[in-house]
Amino acid sequence: MVKVYKPGKVAIVLQGRQAGKKVVVIKQLDEGSKEHPFPHAIVAGIERYPRKVTRRMGQKKLAHRSKVKPFIKAVNYSHLFPTRYALELEGLKGSVTVDTFKEPSQREDAKKAVKKWFEERYTAGKNKWFFQPLRF
C-alpha cells in the first residue's frame, strides 16, 4: 500500500470538532498504538485562522489580526483527506511526539511551539494558501 500521509503532507480533517480545517501531518502511525489501535496520524492544524489585514492598519492591529490558534491531535486516516500540498517541518521536528499527549503541560508546550512556528510562517508570507480557511 502506498503511504499517503508522510510528514509534512497537508490534509483536511473531515470529521469531528475540527472538520474542514487544514492540518499538516507531523508523524504517521500505520500500525496504530496502544492508546489508538487504528492507523492514524499526529497532526497540527489551525483552529482559528488569521484575519484579513490591509495597508491602512497600524502595527498593533496588524499583530493582533495575525495571530493563529493551533491544535494538535491524533486523527484516524479515514477522517483525513490528503491534498497535493506539503510543508517543510524543520521547526516542528521534536516539539510534537506520541508522548506529548500523555500530560497536559507537555501538550500546552507543544501547542505553543506549533503556534510560534505557524505565526512565523504566516508573517514571512510563506504558504499563504495554508493560512486561509476553506471556502465551501
- The parent domain of residue 112 ranges over 9-131
Q: What are the beta bridge partners of residue 51? A: none
Residue ranges, the chain, pLDDT below 50: none
CATH assignment of the domain containing 55: 2.30.30.770
- Asked whether residue 112 is assigned to any structural domain, the reply reads yes
Joined grid coordinates for residue 39: 492507523
- Whole-model pTM: value is 0.87
User: What is the predicted pLDDT for the residue at 1?
Assistant: 54
Say if CB 125 and CB 132 are below 8 A apart: no
User: How many domains does the chain divide into?
Assistant: 1
Count of beta carbons in the 10 Å neighbourhood of residue 72: 20
Amino acid identity at 21? K
- By the 10 Å C-beta count (0-12 exposed, 13-18 middle, 19+ buried), 15 is classed as exposed
- Asked whether residue 27 is assigned to any structural domain, the reply reads yes
